[in-house]
Amino acid sequence: MPRSLPTDARDAVLAWYDDHGRALAFRSTRDPYAILVSEVMAQQTQVGRVVEAWSRFITQFPTVDALAAATPAAVLRAWQGMGYDRRALNLRRAAQAIRDEHGGRVPDDVETLERLPGVGPYSARAVAAIAYGRPLGAVDTNIRRVLRRALTGSDDKAPARAWIQAAADASVDRARPAAWTHALMDIGATICRPTNPACATCPIASWCRFASVATSAGRVTRPACRSRTRRPQPAFTATTRWLRGRILDRLRAAIDGSWTSVAGPVGEHDASAITAALRALEHDGLVELHPKDPLLARLATI
């Protein structure tokens, strides 16, 4: 089983990217701080939502120092619409660590980047590759799927993460690691999709074992999987995540930071659910609760 894509496949990927890569605002910068912001935003969030939010966030907090000095409330307001709001506070804490421990310079090595709040293995490698040109293979969901299919010919999740990471590091184009990272992400997002992959238009189809199987079969095949009875999922509006988002949106509307009543109901959620959500948000450092009324809250100020 091959452990990396060959040189001519890498050349084909980069040629395709030069012609077809997505023109995203945050790809036009080489500022390591701005790239770090974009990578944290892209965690668990569709790229389309990131583009507008990133431009707004960078305008408000253009430097590490600006973000590090901001209040949690200001950062949470700038983060509106992105979801997973703890990422915003982690990004602020990362900025403070960069300011206080690294002289205001975003680290350029993976190990140090991973020690920053909210920065995991993928984000650390992406920042190192994109901002600093380090020949490292960043592996997100899309890139993992592209490499797994190309190198193993299967959608089977069997290859261990360590195997995929080693394959990614061995495959990365040493001369253009930033473009390589963006290219594989774009191929995974637009061509090598989880379902109905467009193998006929893929730049690495000639070297891809999965595409070869699909072509010979006349269709894309998928490994057999055991059928499992899935429990019906509750409507999103019934989830705690939805409730937390609505509470934070209500608090964001109080621009002056005044105490805001979050008395229920909020959608399908009654007072007890709201109280529990507020306490959880307080525990996560996102809100402050009034000492005399647990249903009065505001975005965290310190």
3-class state of residue 260 by DSSP: strand
As a residue count, the chain comes to: 302
Class of residue 268 by CB neighbours under 10 A (exposed 0-12, middle 13-18, buried 19+): middle
Following CA atoms 265, 270, 274, 277 in sequence, which dihedral angle do they give, to the nearest 10 degrees?
A: -130
Closest CA to 82 of 90, 238, 99: 90
Is the CB of residue 94 less than 8 Å from the CB of residue 118? yes
Tokens of 231: 């429990």
Q: Is 39 a catalytic residue?
A: yes
Catalytic residue (choose from 39, 111, 114, 268): 39
Q: How far apart are CA 17 and CA 187, in angstroms?
A: 9
Tokens of 156: 């089977």
Q: How far apart are CA 229 and CA 88, in angstroms?
A: 37
Tokens of 134: 């380090």
What amino acid positions are annotated as catalytic residues?
39
